[in-house]
């Protein structure tokens, strides 16, 4: 229960930051909502309407109240309320994210296992170099390069947009490239750590064949720490989506945010910040709960 309480505090903190963000902006939020030739009375009326004449604390609680009712504000760029926009964009980012993570696991699990099992050999070096490149690669650069090669030069895949699965491939590869390095390394170090434990020696002493030791015994122990980073990986996906969705014109949260930033659409920016923070915090709670199911030694507090 302590964890749930902590998460609640974190959620509150996020709302505070999101709230502060908008108030920190120079310029008058009311003015942004009106056309350029608005009169002063219209400005004052808008301010009253938006509650900007109230003390800060009252504004904050009004804001919280709105949140609880599902009202995330209004985007003047899209001329729609934010909730609808986010509800439409979130699933798209989710699809991209899942596709990317799936690709990443497809690559990193074999790489990580290979590196650990053939530790110190050329395979290990190969896997580590692959991970190093992945870590050093800028998504910006990779995305642009992929588009250049596969879409422009070879014409195999479309350059941007969404639709069928062929639109998903390049952006998913970009997402995967951000992520696989960490997973590979963690799996490798987790496996090496597990393989060095007494219980693996004991299993060998019982005549358990090597393959079973790797994939059944050591693997489960090595994978546990990976569960803990799932949270931060989601964070990376969200952050990376900004760039990737912009380059590939994928209609997800990232593109939304990117456009919002470009046009200084504060309410939209604020709400996306809020939502991403919320998702992350709640997800971490689930991850911690999941961890206690997998590793019975830890009790869920």
Partner 1 sequence: MNIAVPPRTAAAPVQTGRAFSAVRHKITSSKLFMIGAVGVFVIALICLLAPWIVAFDPEQGGLQSRLLPPQWFSEGLGGHVLGTDQLGRDVLSRVLVGGQYSLMIALTVVVGGMLIGIALGLIAGYFGGIADAIIMRVVDVMMSLPTLIVALCFVAVLGPSFQNVIIVLALTSWVLTARVVRGSTLAVRSTDYIAAARVMGAGGGRMMIREILPNVLPPILIMASQQIGVILLTEAGMSFLGMGIPAPTPSWGGMIAGGQAYIATAPWIVVAPGMALMLAVLAFNLLGDGVRDVLDPRSTN
Partner 2 sequence: MSMQPIPTSKESSRMASAERSTEAALDPVLSIAGLNVTFATSSGLVEAVRGVDLTASKGEIVAIVGESGSGKSVTSRAILGLHPTNATVAGSIKLSGEELVGLNEERFNEVRGSRISMVFQEPSRALNPVFTIGSQMVDTIRIHRGVSRKEARDRAIEMLGLVGIPEPQERLGYYPHQLSGGQKQRVMIATAVSCDPELIIADEPTTALDVTVQAEILRLLRDLRDRLGTTILLITHNMGVVADIADRVVVMNQGRIVETAGTFELFAAPKDAYTRTLLSVVPQLQSVEAGGAETELVSTQEPAILKVSELTVRFSRGFGRGNFLAVDDVSFALGAGETLAIVGESGSGKSTVAKTIAGLQKPTLGTVRLHGVDPHGSNGRRARELRRGVGYIFQDPNGSLNPHHRVEASIGAPLSLERGHSSKQISNRIDELLDAVRLPRSIRTKYPHQLSGGQSQRVAIARALIRRPSLLIADEPTSALDVSVQAQVLTLLEELKDDLGFACLFITHDLAVASSFADTAVVMSKGRVVEHGPAVRVLGDPQAEYTKKLVAALPIADPVRQRARRKLIGVSSVSSR
| Ramachandran angles phi, psi of 99, nearest 5° | -60, -45
Contact 3, 288 (CB under 8 A): yes
- Size of interface with partner 1, in residues (CB under 8 A): 68
66 vs 138, beta carbon nearer partner 1: 138
Tell me how far apart the alpha carbons of residues 56 and 79 are, in angstroms, rounded to a whole number: 27
**Alpha-carbon span 148 to 157, nearest angstrom:** 11
Q: How far is CA 278 from CA 8, 10, 258, in A?
A: 10, 9, 19
| φ/ψ (deg, to 5) at 81 | -80, 150
Residue of the chain from 141, 155, 163, 164 that contacts partner 1 (CB under 8 A)? 141
Should residue 158 be labelled a site residue for partner 1 when binding is judged by CB under 8 A?
no
Asked if 266 touches partner 1 (CB under 8 A), the answer is yes
- Nearest residue (CB) to partner 2, 23 versus 216: 216
Our finding on whether 243 is near partner 1 (CB under 8 A) is yes
Q: Is residue 277 within the footprint of partner 1 (CB under 8 A)?
A: yes
Distance of alpha carbon 213 from alpha carbon 49, whole angstroms: 67
- Of residues 224 through 243, those in contact with partner 2 by CB under 8 A are 224
What is the spatial distance between Cα 99 and Cα 97, in angstroms, rounded to a whole number? 5
* Residue 79 binds to partner 2 (criterion: CB under 8 A): no
Do 127 and 112 touch, CB atoms closer than 8 A?
A: yes
* Of residues 77-136, those binding partner 1 (CB under 8 A): 132-133, 135-136
Judged by beta carbon distances under 5 to 8 A according to partner kind, the member of partner 2, partner 1, none in contact with residue 79 is none
Q: Which does 210 bind (CB under 5 to 8 A by kind): partner 1, partner 2, none?
A: partner 2
**Which one among 28, 193, 203, 219 touches partner 1, defined by CB under 8 A?**
193
Q: Which residues in the 107-126 window bind partner 2 by CB under 8 A? A: none
């Amino acid at each position: 229960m302590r964890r749930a309480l902590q998460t609640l505090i974190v959620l509150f903190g996020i709302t505070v930051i999101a709230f502060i963000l908008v108030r920190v902006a120079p310029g008058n939020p009311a003015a942004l909502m009106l056309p350029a030739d608005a009169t002063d009375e219209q400005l004052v009326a808008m301010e009253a309407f938006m509650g900007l004449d109230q003390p800060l604390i009252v504004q904050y609680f009004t804001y919280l109240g709105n949140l609880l009712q599902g009202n995330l504000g209004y985007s003047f760029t899209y001329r729609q309320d934010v909730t609808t926009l986010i509800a439409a964009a979130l699933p798209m980012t989710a699809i991209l994210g899942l596709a990317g993570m799936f690709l990443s696991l497809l690559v990193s699990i074999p790489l990580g296992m290979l590196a650990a099992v053939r530790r110190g050999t050329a395979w290990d070096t190969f896997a580590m170099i692959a991970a190093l490149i992945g870590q050093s690669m800028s998504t910006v650069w990779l995305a642009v390069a992929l588009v250049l090669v596969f879409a422009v030069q070879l014409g195999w895949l479309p350059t941007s947009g969404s639709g069928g699965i062929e639109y998903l491939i390049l952006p998913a590869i970009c997402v995967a490239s951000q992520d696989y390095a960490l997973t590979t390394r963690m799996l490798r170090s987790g496996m090496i750590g597990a393989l060095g434990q007494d219980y693996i020696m004991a299993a060998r002493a019982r005549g358990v064949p090597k393959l079973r030791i790797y994939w059944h015994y050591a693997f489960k122990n090595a994978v546990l720490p990976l569960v803990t980073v799932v949270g931060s990986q989601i964070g990376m996906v969200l952050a990376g989506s900004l760039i990737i969705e912009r380059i590939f014109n994928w209609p997800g949260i990232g593109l939304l945010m990117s456009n919002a930033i470009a046009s200084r659409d504060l309410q939209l920016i604020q709400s996306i910040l809020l939502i991403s923070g919320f998702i992350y915090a709640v997800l971490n709670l689930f991850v911690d709960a999941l961890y206690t199911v997998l590793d019975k030694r830890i009790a869920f507090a």
